[in-house]
Chains A and B, each alone.
Chain A
Amino acid sequence: QKEVEQDPGPLSVPEGAIVSLNCTYSNSAFQYFMWYRQYSRKGPELLMYTYSSGNKEDGRFTAQVDKSSKYISLFIRDSQPSDSATYLCAMTGNTPLVFGKGTRLSVIA
């Protein structure tokens, strides 16, 4: 079993839709959970950073962590064509970040 599992998609949604992206993990030591966005031919950029369980909101983005289920989610409200990218979940327990495979998202105008 991989440490971090993420459905690679691709996911295609119409503009304005609510997008839900998810990851599961197996390592109970993970405490810090992140979502990175990666545009084509660019490096990943940090989108959301959450410590332990709970919700965090930043504009149209909401990150949720459920440590009891080892499940994290990223919600994007009112999705825009500019949100089209690959979204990578990443997590750590004070070791180097472990990444999921990434989910490729396309938002169609």
Chain B
Amino acid sequence: EAGVAQSPRYKIIEKRQSVAFWCNPISGHATLYWYQQILGQGPKLLIQFQNNGVVDDSQLPKDRFSAERLKGVDSTLKIQPAKLEDSAVYLCASSLDLAGGYTFGSGTRLTVV
């Protein structure tokens, strides 16, 4: 079974620039999550999708972050404009359903300078 694919692996941008991350979940997994992991911290949920609908985006900073899940499969997370405190690893995870165990991708490491 192929895992959760994320790209790019690394990204360095200047503050106030924009950036986008891409995630391809495990085939057939209806639920997709984006988590932010700051160095030395545990992952923190940004947004949860069930198929192509948003289930929970209460912790997404909507003034600068946006996310979509195209046709209930791939997803993109965008930051515009980026701030220094957005430097983190952005993890995508998927699960079969809302109660299933999650499979994580390797993440995108973002550095904002």
Contacts and interface: CB of A to CB of B under 8 A. Distances in A.
Contact of A6 (B42, B93, B105, B106): B42
Interface stretch (B62-70, B79-87, B94-102): B94-102
Interface residues of A, number: 24
Interface residues of B, number: 23
Contacts, number: 51
Q: Which of A4, A43, A46 has the most CB of B within 10 A?
A: A43
B42 A43 contact: no
B107 A43 contact: yes
B53 to A, nearest CB: 15
Interface in B15-48: 33, 35, 40-45, 48
B75 to A, nearest CB: 15
B45 A97 contact: yes
Contacts of A46: 101-103
Contact of A43 (B45, B48, B99, B105): B105
A101 interface: yes
Interface of B: 4, 33, 35, 40-45, 48, 56, 91, 93, 98-99, 101-107, 109
